Amino acid sequence: MTKAKRPIRIVHLGLGAFYRAHACTYLQKLEGWGVLGVSLRSAAVRDRMRQRGYRYTAAALTPDGMDLQQIDVVQDMLVAPEDPAAVINALAEPAVSLVTLTVTEKGYCHDPATGTLNTNHPVVKSDIAHALPQTAPGFLARGLQARRAAGLPPFTVLSCDNLPANGAVTRRVTLDLANHVDPDLAAWIAAEVTFPSAMVDRIVPATTAEDIARIARLSGNMDAAPVVHEPFTQWVITDDFVGDLPDLATAGAQIVPDIAPFERMKLRMLNGAHSALAYLGSLAGFATVADAVADETVAAYLQVLWHEEIIPTLKVPPDTSLEDYAAALMSRFANPGIQHRLSQIAMDGSQKLPQRLLGTIEDRLAHGGRIDALLLALAGWIAYTANQSDDADPMAAKLRGCHASDPRQTVHNILSLSAIFKDPLSAQITAPLSDVYTDLTKKSARAMLATVAH
């Protein structure tokens, strides 16, 4: 007997491993909510998922093995560049009431320092000029335009990316784009559409060929598109929806009046530590998060980073202990079942650092207190950008161009990048960061970690 199919009521932009391992495992617990996945770039995920009718295995990686679960939330998939009009039509389907996004930091096409749409970007320019878009803000604006023209109610837009105030950022870029297309459309969106912010959390390493083979052995089924994830999961969403919505609270999400303290805790403690490990851990010769934190010096460095530099900048979220949160993070990072590559986390640093490290440094400068561990992480990132070989980071070429023979000049050039560093932060950290980065070019990363870890 085949199970009743779930009607498509959610369109997801940017269907990748994270959403399939996170949001879809919540939706799996509910009846009646199917997802149409959209890939904004390549056909690879669609082609692999299609082989099993979009049903796939989600494998929880425990220290002793894998717990497998079948997920059948995704009903179909579109590849936007193949047929952008089909994506607009899907967004204008009357049954759709929720649009979710995981398009990564750079997919919002915003200037990370200001949060506004980067209208100098050629693809954004094209989205303003043409009815068939390529970017997430373009699809949101044009999809809402089609709904408005058809006299349909709007949908709720729920970002699931690791950005601070991700709902407000999504709203800003959608409104900016809509305003260039038609100011009346922008006014309608501003009045009718809600963009709740959310904090999402689950460690999802890239699926490897070994994972695929192991899942096939365990399940007896060949799945070309499984996802692997840690057992932990958390989804905290602002209570700000319009229309009919899945009962995410029943599925385990926390719906709260204000996600800001949860989001700041997670972005600064988890993602901030991840980025610090990605740069400093790789310089020290480690390949994965678990390998890096198994090292005593690295683990001691993280304790200083969390307890002495990050936690003092945080507001404690309801029913949370920041000390317990740090301890839980350490055991999540140390999970030997997870091969989370530092190179995966290191990508797109220019888009990640403002919310992961720079905001914390700003708060410390305003209120006093040491920033040694934070500055060392920043210096590690600068060292990484010298040889950044992949051009995934939209600022990779610019960053490489900042490197000079004099390390102080390099720091000066990097801190002049106003899309990343706001005033007066750059002026305030020029001298101490130059010292740390100069030292890092002379000494080993391990020796530098040891100095901070006391």
Please, are residues 83 and 16 in contact by the beta-carbon 8 Å criterion? Answer: no
Smallest separation (angstroms) from ligand CS2 to the CB of 43: 23
Q: What three-state secondary structure class fits 341? A: strand
Using the minimum distance from each CB to ligand CS2, give the nearer residue, 179 or 271: 271
Binding residues for ligand CS2, rule CB under 6 A, total 10
| C-alpha angle 289-293-296 in degrees, rounded to nearest 5 | 160
CA-to-CA separations, 363 to 7, 55, 79, 311, 327, in angstroms, rounded = 46, 45, 42, 11, 23
Q: What three-state secondary structure class fits 156? A: strand
Smallest separation (angstroms) from ligand CS2 to the CB of 355: 11
Smallest separation (angstroms) from ligand CS2 to the CB of 393: 12
Q: Out of 162, 282, 297, 339, name the contact with ligand CS2 by CB under 6 A.
A: 162
Q: How far apart are CA 104 and CA 97, in angstroms?
A: 22
Give the DSSP letter string of 264-294. Answer: HHIIIIIIHHHHHIIIIIHHTT--BHHHHHT
Using the minimum distance from each CB to ligand CS2, give the nearer residue, 25 or 426: 25
CA-to-CA separations, 227 to 11, 13, 88, 214, 433, in angstroms, rounded = 20, 18, 28, 12, 39
Strand 156-159 versus strand 198-201 pairing type: unpaired
| C-alpha angle 319-322-325 in degrees, rounded to nearest 5 | 90
Smallest separation (angstroms) from ligand CS2 to the CB of 170: 17
Smallest separation (angstroms) from ligand CS2 to the CB of 38: 20
Q: Per CB under 6 A, does 100 bind ligand CS2?
A: no
The stretch near ligand CS2 (CB under 6 A) out of 62-70, 84-92, 197-205, 366-374 is 197-205
Q: What three-state secondary structure class fits 98? A: strand
Q: Per CB under 6 A, does 203 bind ligand CS2?
A: yes
CB-CB neighbours of 114 under 10 Å: 12
Using the minimum distance from each CB to ligand CS2, give the nearer residue, 36 or 358: 358
Smallest separation (angstroms) from ligand CS2 to the CB of 213: 23
Please, are residues 251 and 26 in contact by the beta-carbon 8 Å criterion? Answer: yes
Smallest separation (angstroms) from ligand CS2 to the CB of 400: 20
Q: Out of 142, 180, 202, 268, name the contact with ligand CS2 by CB under 6 A.
A: 202
Contact string (CB under 6 A) for ligand CS2, positions 32-71, x = contact:
----------------------------------------
Of all residues in this chain, which one has the CB nearest to ligand CS2 in the complex? 274
Q: Is 285 left (phi over 0), alpha (psi -120 to 50) or beta?
A: left
Q: Per CB under 6 A, does 345 bind ligand CS2?
A: yes
Q: Per CB under 6 A, does 310 bind ligand CS2?
A: no
Smallest separation (angstroms) from ligand CS2 to the CB of 81: 24
Using the minimum distance from each CB to ligand CS2, give the nearer residue, 282 or 426: 282
Using the minimum distance from each CB to ligand CS2, give the nearer residue, 106 or 202: 202
Q: What phi and psi values does residue 238 have, to the nearest 5 degrees?
A: -70, 140
Q: Out of 93, 161, 176, 201, name the contact with ligand CS2 by CB under 6 A.
A: 201
Using the minimum distance from each CB to ligand CS2, give the nearer residue, 142 or 268: 268
Using the minimum distance from each CB to ligand CS2, give the nearer residue, 12 or 22: 22
Q: How far apart are CA 112 and CA 348, in angstroms?
A: 12
The stretch near ligand CS2 (CB under 6 A) out of 50-58, 120-128, 136-144, 199-207 is 199-207
Kind and range of the H or E element at 201? strand 198-201
Using the minimum distance from each CB to ligand CS2, give the nearer residue, 134 or 238: 238
Q: Which residue has 């695929």 as its token pair?
A: 212
Q: Out of 62, 70, 219, 344, name the contact with ligand CS2 by CB under 6 A.
A: 344
The stretch near ligand CS2 (CB under 6 A) out of 79-87, 124-132, 198-206, 389-397 is 198-206
Q: How far apart are CA 291 and CA 333, in angstroms?
A: 9
Using the minimum distance from each CB to ligand CS2, give the nearer residue, 201 or 393: 201
Of the candidates 231, 232, 214, the residue with the CA atom closest to the CA atom of residue 223: 214
Of the candidates 110, 98, 92, 196, the residue with the CA atom closest to the CA atom of residue 149: 92
**Positions 267 through 296 that interact with ligand CS2 (CB under 6 A):** 270-271, 274
DSSP bridge pairs for 70: 57
Smallest separation (angstroms) from ligand CS2 to the CB of 108: 15
Smallest separation (angstroms) from ligand CS2 to the CB of 272: 9
Instruction: Give the interface with ligand CS2 as residue ranges (CB under 6 A).
Output: 162, 201-203, 270-271, 274, 344-345, 352
